[in-house]
Amino acid sequence: MAPNGTSARGSSGASTVAELVRAQWGDHRVGAMYGDLVLTHHELAGGAAARAALLGELLPRDAPPHLGVLLGNVPEYPLWLSAAALAGAAVAGINPTRRGPELARDIRHTDCALLVTERAQLPLLAGLGLPLPPERILVVDDPAHRELLAPYEGATPDEITAGGRGGAGAPTPASRMLLYFTSGSTGAPKAAVCTQGRLAAAGHSLAGYLGVRRDDVHYLCMPMFHGNAVIAGWAPALAGGAAVALRRRFSASAFLPDVRRYGATCFTYVGRAVQYLLATPPAPGDRDHSLRCGFGTEAGTVDAARFAERFGVRLIEGYGSSEGGAAIQRTPDTPPGAIGRDAPGGDLAVVDPETGDELPRGRLDPAGRLLNGERAIGELVNRGRSSFEGYWRNPEATAARTRGRGEGRAGAGWYWTGDLFFRDTEGFFHFVGRTDDRLRVDSENLAAAMIENILARYAPAAGVAVYAVPDPVAGDQVMAALALRDSAAFDPDGFVAFLAAQPDLGTKMAPRFVRTMAALPVTATHKVHRVALRRAGFQCPDPVWWSPVAAADPAAPARSADPAGRAYRPFTTADRTALLALYRAHDRTALLGR
């Protein structure tokens, strides 16, 4: 795949997203597809210019030029992204799965002076008391919206960026472009700032990395209110002069039909979406498509191999923090299971989260299994310059990313990713999990993602999530949620046999509790909703199996060091009552449900 990052007017040198949009003008190739609707690059640029001119009239001069976009993945989304770029405004992607005061909070927090939405989303806004007058809520599929745009039809991108037709002058690389909420697991979401310069640079970099060609079609099925679809899908397509095909929301059953219909060659993903696709019934035509690659995160080695075997498509695991603070480059010699190496001139390291000390390199056996995880796994930091541009109106969270850790503030000025990694003896970085997915079992630190990678080999499970539940005495216990294929029944003896056959399952890794489910809960960005799983713990509506120990205290968790010696039985109401009494006896009840 030879990189080709140029479009019809040589956008490879563009330093702003506005320049990339302007480069579409005069290009009459297909630029976007959605159902039966087909728009050329030229039509996209013209539509963006008209909307940018409207923005110039509607955005108040005494407030930040921010517009919220509350839409599904419909053509209006990239049109308004492009319009904001031309007008020097910033788009706040509003998550339609948020509700009530939390939804209103997101709009208010990002100082949206304008809200672009559609009729399907209007019930979400009813009664919220938004800080916006009705005339600044634009409903794109309402006939009144077309009438509002009519006077601005015919505006050109050059005219807008030159300051005419309501334009404020040419945007610069430092102009804010995106305010996108990170998919944090706790607390109010943080709105990360991304400037036009950073987004354009990311587009160019990924266009080269993925070998984007002008005849490519990027299938955008991940939600565009999140950075995954915009930064890793739309931006490289724009920089490389490729087309995009849109799906309002992800659908596993519609995935291959869409790919075939649009001739899609690339798509972005998160790990849970890959699991959904693998869970669809196999068919003889699974390899009958135009896809060349998928690019995303957290697919896992097992699922990536299954995907390649079934669909004939290579999944390229990337790593780049949403905030832009750290990135890892995949090289041709990157071994299976690894993400890649530090970029040239970079200074990434894996350090102890408390002291900031760099940790020993991870040692792998011939099968690629980590032998010294208890010493090698730590937090990935960037000790050099980063492109982190902060969080909007959240100086505390911004400072927390860079002010260091531990009593002596070790690592002040570094960018702390919040992600667990280890670095092998050859210098390759391996993703392990999130810092909030860390478990401490019998004084040993474990990473949930590593246990998940092992349990993913359990054939009856279509999806696996591992998380901590508090131990009634000290530390954590391991709990696993298994989404069983075709509503299969859980076989406790078979599961024990499976655990015993895994040579890389550490003595503390076997789950104490197993929750069986039809499907794992997911966030709006199709990531496993571990917060919901942790909060429910073993007090959930689904069947739970556990491995107690035959000891003087029947509620005490098993401490057997041999997974093969375990036995799982249903977790009954009597078990729960006895276990909760033990939490109370040790004054740890308050830890449950967090």
| Chosen domain end from 222, 249, 276 | 249
pLDDT digits (tens, 9 = 90+) for 286-322: 999 999 999 998 787 778 889 999 999 999 988 888 7
pLDDT digits (tens, 9 = 90+) for 472-520: 876 789 999 999 988 788 999 999 999 999 877 877 889 999 999 999 9
Please check whether residues 391 and 454 belong to one and the same domain: no
Please check whether residues 109 and 238 belong to one and the same domain: yes
Please check whether residues 223 and 162 belong to one and the same domain: yes
**In this structure, are residues 489 and 517 in contact, taking their beta carbons and an 8 Å threshold?**
no
Please check whether residues 458 and 586 belong to one and the same domain: yes
**Which has more confidence, 6 or 203?**
203
Residue range 87-110: mean pLDDT, rounded:
91
Give the best-scoring range by mean pLDDT among 153-167, 180-194, 301-315: 301-315
Please check whether residues 479 and 360 belong to one and the same domain: no
Please check whether residues 323 and 400 belong to one and the same domain: yes
Q: Is residue 306 included in any domain, yes or no?
A: no
pLDDT of residue 164: 59
One DSSP character per residue, 227-254 reads HHHIIIIIHHHHHHT-EEEE-SS--HHH
Q: Is the pTM higher than 0.95?
A: no
Cα dihedral sign, 536-104-320-240: positive
Residue 8 has pLDDT above 60, yes or no: no
Please check whether residues 101 and 224 belong to one and the same domain: yes
- Tokens 């995907």 label which residue? 307
Torsions phi, psi of 239, nearest 5?
-70, -35
Least confidently predicted of 138-152, 174-188, 203-217? 174-188
| Chosen domain end from 394, 418, 437 | 437
For the chain, helix (H) and strand (E) counts, in that order, are 19, 27
pLDDT of residue 214: 97
Please check whether residues 432 and 497 belong to one and the same domain: no
- Across the beta sheet with 90-93, the strand order is 137-139, 114-117, 66-70, 90-93, 176-181, 191-195
pLDDT of residue 1: 30
Confidence class for position 534, pLDDT limits 50, 70, 90 = confident
Please check whether residues 528 and 475 belong to one and the same domain: yes
Residue 173 has pLDDT above 90, yes or no: yes
pLDDT digits (tens, 9 = 90+) for 125-146: 999 989 899 999 999 999 999 9
Please check whether residues 233 and 337 belong to one and the same domain: no
Residue 237 has pLDDT above 70, yes or no: yes
Residue range 145-159: mean pLDDT, rounded:
95
Confidence class for position 159, pLDDT limits 50, 70, 90 = very high
**Number of folded domains in the chain?**
3
pLDDT of residue 551: 30
Confidence class for position 332, pLDDT limits 50, 70, 90 = confident
pLDDT of residue 369: 79
Domain that holds residue 114: 20-249
Please check whether residues 344 and 484 belong to one and the same domain: no
| Chosen domain end from 232, 249, 266 | 249
The average confidence (pLDDT) of the chain is: 88
CATH number for 492: 3.30.300.30
Please check whether residues 430 and 448 belong to one and the same domain: no
